[in-house]
Amino acid sequence: MSINPNRADQAKLLRNVRKVHRTMGATLFLLFLLVSITGLLLGWKKHSGGWVQAETATGSSSDLNNWLPIDSLYNLASQYLHDSVDAGLSTELDKIDIRADKGIAKFIFTHHFWGLQIDGATGQLLKVEQRRSDFIEKLHDGSIIDMKLLGNGAVFKLIFTSVAGLSLLLFTITGFWLWYGPKKMRRET
Residue 104 structural domain: 54-130
- The pLDDT assigned to 106 comes to 98
pLDDT at 8: 83
pLDDT value, residue 151: 72
| 72-80 own/partner pairs: CB under 8 Å, 24+ apart | 72/123, 73/105, 73/107, 73/118, 73/120, 73/123, 74/107, 76/118, 76/123, 76/125, 77/105, 77/107, 77/116, 77/118, 80/116, 80/118, 80/125, 80/128
Q: What is the pLDDT of residue 4?
A: 62
Q: Are residues 149 and 176 in the same domain?
A: yes
Task: Tell me: do 126 and 84 sit in the same domain.
Answer: yes
Domain boundary, last residue among 112, 130, 148: 130
Segments of the chain with pLDDT less than 70 = 1-5, 152-153, 189
- Model pLDDT, residue 1: 45
pLDDT of residue 129: 96
- Whether residue 49 is contained in a domain is answered as no
